[in-house]
Structure 1
């Protein structure tokens, strides 16, 4: 352990499940939402991943019985789906961590990462990046910082970028910065923390861990900036963290915040404020029985005490830490050194000598461990050097024998030839290197141009499809008006002229005209409803969808509608798009599936909207969707893309067809 920051970071990982070290404790609304979604949905894949997430949350909150319950539920469903089966390896590794079994935890993380390599989706990239971040921390606990750094930079960061998950990416940059801070390379740490701040500001604020990640990054950045004497930047980071923490005064993240704040006040020579901040941090840490953080804050108080010449207070704090905190050897060494200096200031030479001797003994003990490691390394280097020396001597002897046997003229000729070849080789490599750079630059330009062209082409295709769909809809409305309402009104006109020209009033004819007029009004209302349902405008999306299902069901086809947590504040344009998606799915099912039952399930979770339409019909071959001539599926895909959504289709003759759609509001 190189310093307190590494200890604190590892403590967070090793105790994240028995006791959450860093949390705003604001997960209740999210856990309630997941619980309701698990109870209401009939889609097994959604129920499975939601149960995994809920088990993870309960494990973090030290609710292990609930965590085990939902983990068991997810494990019963996961084998049905290859992706979820591989995801389960990660979620089932977490109990190892809660038991302190770091080695098996690391093995399961490696296995989960290997299994997920075959999936090429953004979700799989983001999950692998998060798994590799945890694996990097395991390597730090095992004192292999070089491998930890390699995993973060060479594997985790590229995956996070592919997944587009800025929150995970910011956490990775923070992890690299912490490794540099542990090695006292604060300037390098500053560079990575700057990137971490940039990415967390771009990250999705709807993530339930967003605020906690942001606070942690700015608190660590403030401490590093203070150490670098960049106090203006340190204050800005403190303020960023405080903007979030002020709403959570009892959060156990305040302990870390008050440590950075106290360090900042110490550097600007506001020693009383520094002590107040440390005391607030100690109180917060003890509230959650976080002894390690409390000890870190207590030890930090010796700096402002020393600046104020309050040596008696330093003595009391350090004696309490040595006698009651069961410190690590490296910490006890630091406490003893400070105590020796403090007793000397107080004129207590006896105790100054006592703790000075204690410091020397502890330092020798640590140096002995380090010396053994250095001796082992030196021995390996010595053996390698001796072997290389023997090999070099043998080769030199052989060369001498060869040179004696060869003709001097041949030797010089060969030397000149080799020199010329080497020169030609260097020139060739130099020219080739320049050409390769030009080719690489040209490839990069071509790639950028092709990517832009593809994006423009995709936008044009979506717009053309939407225009084509709208034109088709206009033709259908025109046909309905001409063939239905138009013909009935023409007939009504002819009957009216007949009655008008007749001298006698025919009551039967008037009744027929009245019936014809009533049918025209009904037809007109139906056309109007097809354009925009009146219930959608007046009563909202849930009532409109319910009316749609009720209107389309027949004696031969039953349609069940279920809604969960659909809010009224969805923009009207999005409500109409969602309505059209469900209308298109039902229309396709009624026309083609030959089913007797159709299930419609709609639910909302914060900014995500889920649609599931399932029928027990004859199904279709999903591999042939691209050759379908109808506009139905094309319009459906365009509307889903319009809301940045995803669509999954599962269809077979035995099980019928299931459409799972996830939309971003």
Structure 2
């Protein structure tokens, strides 16, 4: 006879129904439990439409969760997931935190049942994190039990951590049933690691609390595990048989479950090992008969499920057709009304618009002329500033800085030839010359960075990011251009000062901790992205302390034949996207 031993150790691992919201059994739950899925789905459709029309989104989401359960039980996993993610979207829009927490957990459970443990764990953790963030404390240990089950099944080292989490929450609840389950978890954990003595201690504790709970399923689980322990570890088949017989007696009215079939097989093996071949044969026959009945029942249920799926598809198709016809009628009626309203409105305002059109055209001409004049003034001002900046930088660097350096060298030569004369005034004069030279050099570099002139825009932006980074704000720069790429000098200078102005805005106003700049080229266009994680601002209002701000930046970009897109919200950072046409 084949040796087959069954151990029940994760009694809460993969239940299908939501635990947080189903405090009482309603008619949909009744239909689910009695496998009358057609009526359950039909009722859920009616209730969901009713709640949606009333804009009672909380009850609507709970109904869709039940609908998801029906599809899951029918093995329609795709539809089950679609319903869950539909609920997740609504809970985000309506800020239904408790239902969102439960939905995330249920999505994790769905992934666990299809053995996608990675996604299951991800959604379980999202559920826990959201509950902790919003201090929702009524989330029980059920989600931790599910996480433990997934880690246990995948043989992960994290299983023990969640084993402890389940026990911690169990102690808070004081429930005998939960204590029985938790100790049963420890038994399964240590038994799988062949620490049989320690596993037996936890099994004994599980049995004590199981009996206190007076729950037949929990007691049967503990007794069956005890029988398996006697059979596998202690090889005491008599004791094992005694425990299995207790389970049979405890479940005398249950003659069709797969758990009882497993007990029959265990008993058959136990009697065989003690030489009682008659009982071994009898229980093997019982196991075979029950398995056949279960198979026939499952086959019948599978056939019913196929028929149910067909009827559901037909019902959904009919509902969709009714909705389509209704929507089409509504649209047609709406169109007729709109046509009459439009004709009336058109005839009423036609003369007004005709009259106003002449005035508006004239007004727009003046506005456009004024705008063009202002734009030309701004562009001329920007061009003048950049040319003047370049000229001043060259004068400072090539003339004044050189003169100061030459004076310093002459003074140093004089001091070297007259080393015996220790004049404090000469030393002070030398220090003043050095300080003046350094200030002139720094001013020259601020007006026109030497890196920009010598090595180009890419190196200058890298240097700008590094100089502006500190312990409070970090600028990160990424270029997707070829090293050493150069553009026309005036173009590089203007782009550099545009980005410099954006950096100044970030440092002055954003209160950000990270800023990112990327630069790339495509289709003869230079694409620049500047992003920060700061406090953001209302893009409908210009934030400017000097009267220009973003207006000046936009003018610079328009002058270069480019465009700028600003995406920012309060407390959500700022993203600026610039596209510039590269001059030939």
Q: Same fold (TM over 0.5)?
A: no
TM-score by length of 1: 0.39
Q: Indicate the structure (1 or 2) with the bigger Cα radius of gyration.
A: 2
Greater helix share, 1 or 2?
Answer: 1
TM-score, normalised to structure 2, is 0.44
Q: Specify which structure has the bigger relative contact order, considering alpha-carbon pairs within 8 angstroms and separated by 6 or more residues.
A: 2
